[in-house]
Structure 1
Amino acid sequence: MVKKVAILGSSGGNLYFLGGKDPDRLLDELLLQTEAAGMVCTSLQFIAAKASMDSAKDDTPAELYSWNEDMAKPLVIAQGTLAEVNEAAVLLDADIAAKITNGDIDALIFMSADPAGTNRKAVEAAAIKKIPATGTGGTSMAAVSAKGVNVISTSGTTGTTNRTRAVTFLTSLSKHFGLSYKPVIGKPDTSGQKDQLNSRPYQRINIRGMMLSSLPGFIAMALILALSKIPVFTGLGDVFDLMINALPVILAVVAAKQVADLDNVSIVAGVIAGVLSVKGGIIGGIIGGILAGLLVHYIFRKCVEWRFPATTVNIAAGGIAGLISGLAVFFVISPIALQLGEGIRSLLDFLVSYNSTIAGLIAGLLIWPAIIGGVYHAAILPIVLLEMERTGNSFLGAVDMAGLVMVSAGITLANIVSPRDKGEAAVAVPGFAINMGFGTFVEAAYPFMFSNKLIFAGAIISSGLGGLLVGFFDVRGTAYVPSFMAPLLSNNMTGFIIAMAGSLLCSFFITLTLNKLSGNNKSKESLKNQQNELAG
């Protein structure tokens, strides 16, 4: 038989600041984990006030959530002042108590409940039926237990999140009923599958995703570097040095959250691990964050199985996981990670110093096939970030801007000026604007490149020219910033402007020429068809 669960409580005092002020998200997470445990929610009484219950008054606005059986979802059934909503909640409490008495509810989940008020009858019925209950809210759960309810686990609210509370509740109930429970992350996808917290978390490790998510931190560092070159802002040089040390922390936090995805718990673990991984550079930060995420997952699950209070679970998972992984990187992995990063940078520096012009040309010719083939984000972007970690800009970053962004901008601009048909101009305008304004969205050129092999070839040629110019002027720069700002973030502003302008104009004129030739061919063909029709 499927176990039926009732959820009782309120947005609470401390809980209000830890998820209670957004009841929809709080309940969604709880219902998601309930479903994952193979149970169903059949009753709900949740009072959501517009202020913490510690300071709420009778005239504080509030809503009452109940369970709609037909729609199988929570719905607001009463709105008004807290006093009015409490009156409606007392009536709902009687209905839930009757269900408990009739054996229609198998377990209770309490969150900042009121066992002496709006939940009194349900608590009394639960004490008589001896059904299992779990929940958070130190004072309220103590009162629930004192009334004779079979409380199988309890905890305070401090340090918890919507997800950690829900997982703790359902783990306790599943263990009590002897059910198999695999916590899930997020909503089911289109195939109906869910990402399970306890099924091989290492499968969620995605280096490319970590790099992309951390990119804003690298761009912020590049902006600080550019500003520090202005006489009035020379003091920002110390800020730049500080931000370099912050990069491993950023990557560690992103990695830990990606692997564990336990909200603030994984974030805290990532911060601790990242701070201790600074000496290992960004590679050390990534390793520390991954280890922290794996340990958060393991420690969290074990603590819940051992029925630790939810607050203690969060403290242990976040703090201990961060310390263990961070210390491992600090004492063992940092030197290796630092040498690996230096080795990659040294190899690139050697290739560029051997003949920077040829190196730029080759990089420019290969960068379009690399991004189309999925190699760019997996291999080139990490190298760009490794370069930026040391100097704030990058040789391959400059090739990215000149060879990808500017070439895409040139192709889209040509299709604005002289499109093959009117519809293509409408497609090209936003692409050109985003490339120039944000230094990204090179995919805007794909429709034109894929529809004409000569335009595709022109893109590669133009990119090769841009890379060649980057190498010739020995430019270090970055993409992902507005085009007018990119030269300011480089080591050679004039050289970067020439390289960017060269690749943009080259792709523009190649595409423009091909579009005009295509238009002329269409006109000749149309004229020929008209002549044939007249002759017929």
Structure 2
Amino acid sequence: MSKKIAILGSSGGNLYTLGGKDPKSLLGETAQQIRAAGMEIGAIQFIAAEASMDFVKPTTKAHLWTWDGDSFGIVFSGTLEEVNHAAVEKDKKIAQLIENGEIDGLILASADPDGANKEAISAAIKTKIPTTGTGGTSMAKAQSKGLNVIAVSGTTGTTNRIRAVASISALSKHFGIKYRAAIGNAGEIDTSGSILSRISLRGILMASLPGFIAMALTLFISKIPGSPESVTKLFDVMIAALPVIVAAVASKQVSGMNEVAIVAGVVAGTLSVSGGLIGGIIGGIIAGALVQIFLMKCLQWRFPATTANIVAGGLAGLIGGLLVYFIIGPLALMAGNGIRELINMALDFSPILCGAVAGLLIWPAIIGGVYHAAILPIVMLEMEKTGNSFLGAIDMCGLVMVSAGITLANIIYPRTKDEKALAAPGFLINVVFGTFVEAAYPFMFSNKIVFGGALVSACLSGAVVGFFGVRGTAYVPSVLAPALSNNSAGFIVSMLVAAASAFVITVVANKIARAKDTKKDKEAAIG
């Protein structure tokens, strides 16, 4: 039979600023870790004030959160004084559960042993059930009364997840239960596999993409005529920041430990700058892996949560960064430069042929799931040095503008009225945001001519990109994209060729389809 755990306490004083003011997150993280350990929630009594308990008044608004057997939620709201009175009744019920042996352990969060949690804590003292939690003063009071406290965590420098992991780690060890921290979002459980299974280059780069677009925008700003030197240096600053961005994202995703992992990633990324984009990713991955390892080891060794957090975040980031700085960085930089050099060699050999082939393959790549795994990393490697990319230009022309041309054709001359309504949002998103090429899928997959037209249009526009030697980027408004390229006029021509070709072919395809539909209707009417 699984162990049942009760969560008691309040949003606290210092705790309030470190997650206590968000009871849904605090309770959700704790509930998630309880389930990950194969245990159950037996009861919840949590008083959430709308201010730190260090500064509250009896009239401060507050809420009482409890457990109904399936989920937690607010059961009473009012002034803090009113909520405390309501909490006393819940306290008596939880005390009865403890005395009846229906609660096996307690997690306290800034609890009140002399007030709202008096009865439950007294019952826990009598039954000697194991207790863990946070709140220096309250935990000391409870312990002095004889409460069986097996672990106490500080709140300074911690998060809701770290404190939850610390509490469940201590209880699991006490009960002899095997426990692996859940790293998914609150409400999910992801204790899956090894650290290696959580390393996703695609996930890291997609999450880091806004940083690359910000860098491209600084390139545009730095090109404004008459800009002071401080403005023209913005691009260089952003270039240097890219390894830090990808390292922070990589560390967070690999460890699943939120803030502490982000700090470790920033430390690792700062030391990995010499290794470029690849160095930053490697440094972040190492830091993220070490964060989880160090954190769990520290908690197993009964370190306070604050200490475990500092050790995990600081040492993990430092070790990951130093490995890249002294050993991996030169190799990572060499690899990145090698990939860029291969692209330049291909363009030097035949830019038009290279562009045409890239354009022809871009749609099969994204439909087949290869784009984000292979092409996007190369785009970002190119952008790392120049702020724009040959394949980025192919992306904007061959995917975004072709999709825009297909959807525009279905707005102006749709096969059916329903397709017009379907195409309009896709066209607007492609033009305004430079993404959502999937808007063309319904029309491409339902008509072979449209599908073939997309391939032809992408190939043709790719050849034009190669002819003009254009480097650019997608994921930005189409009207802004030319300004972020190395050849604005050439990019505009390439984009127009892509959109116009796709538009014309789609209109022709729709006319043919309409004619066939009309013929079928007539034959059906005659028959």
The corresponding residue for 2:250 is 255
The corresponding residue for 1:516 is 511
1:174 is aligned, of 149, 167, 172, to 172
The corresponding residue for 1:12 is 12
Name the % identity. 59
The corresponding residue for 2:464 is 469
The amino acid that maps onto 2:477 is: P
The amino acid that maps onto 1:158 is: T
Distance 2:276 2:186 in 1: 36
Q: Does 2:325 correspond to 1:330?
A: yes
Distance 2:516 2:81 in 1: 78
The corresponding residue for 2:224 is 230
The corresponding residue for 2:211 is 217
SS at match of 2:74: strand
The corresponding residue for 1:203 is 197
SS at match of 1:135: strand
Distance 2:228 2:520 in 1: 64
Residues 123 and 147 in structure 1, CA contact (< 8 A), matched pair in contact too: no
Q: CA RMSD in A?
A: 1.5
1:246-269 C-alpha deviation (Å, 9 max, x unpaired): 000110011011110111111111
Distance 1:14 1:84 in 2: 23
The corresponding residue for 2:342 is 347
Distance 1:441 1:507 in 2: 16
Distance 2:362 2:247 in 1: 28
Within a 5 Å distance, the mapping from 1:376-395 to structure 2 comes to 376-395=371-390
Offset, 1:15: 1.1
Offset, 1:188: 9.6
Residues 355 and 464 in structure 2, CA contact (< 8 A), matched pair in contact too: yes
The corresponding residue for 1:29 is 29
SS at match of 2:233: helix
Count of paired positions: 526
Stretches (4+) displaced over 4 A: none
Residues 219 and 387 in structure 2, CA contact (< 8 A), matched pair in contact too: yes
The corresponding residue for 1:498 is 493
SS at match of 1:383: helix
Residues 153 and 166 in structure 2, CA contact (< 8 A), matched pair in contact too: no
Residues 384 and 395 in structure 1, CA contact (< 8 A), matched pair in contact too: yes
1:510-533 C-alpha deviation (Å, 9 max, x unpaired): 111121122123223433444x34
The amino acid that maps onto 1:75 is: G
1:259-281 C-alpha deviation (Å, 9 max, x unpaired): 10111111111111111111100
Distance 1:186 1:227 in 2: 39
Residues 279 and 328 in structure 2, CA contact (< 8 A), matched pair in contact too: yes
Instruction: Indicate the larger mover: 337-346 or 119-128.
Output: 119-128
SS at match of 1:5: strand
Instruction: Indicate the larger mover: 141-150 or 89-98.
Output: 89-98
The corresponding residue for 2:83 is 85
1:349-372 C-alpha deviation (Å, 9 max, x unpaired): 111122211111111111111111
The amino acid that maps onto 1:354 is: F
Offset, 1:187: 6.2
Residues 184 and 256 in structure 2, CA contact (< 8 A), matched pair in contact too: no
Within a 5 Å distance, the mapping from 1:79-478 to structure 2 comes to 79-186=77-184, 194-196=189-191, 199-235=193-229, 236-478=231-473
Offset, 1:22: 1.3
Q: Which stretches in structure 1 are left out of the alignment for 5+ residues?
A: none
Distance 1:437 1:420 in 2: 25
The amino acid that maps onto 2:82 is: E
Distance change in 2, residues 1:95/1:521 (3 Å): closer
Residues 183 and 255 in structure 2, CA contact (< 8 A), matched pair in contact too: no
The amino acid that maps onto 1:19 is: G
The corresponding residue for 2:2 is 2
1:426-483 C-alpha deviation (Å, 9 max, x unpaired): 1111111111111111111111111111211111111111101111010110011011
Instruction: Indicate the larger mover: 134-143 or 280-289.
Output: 134-143
Distance 2:285 2:360 in 1: 34
TM-score relative to the length of structure 1:
0.95
1:106-127 C-alpha deviation (Å, 9 max, x unpaired): 2111101111222222222222
Distance 1:331 1:506 in 2: 51
Residues 28 and 186 in structure 2, CA contact (< 8 A), matched pair in contact too: no
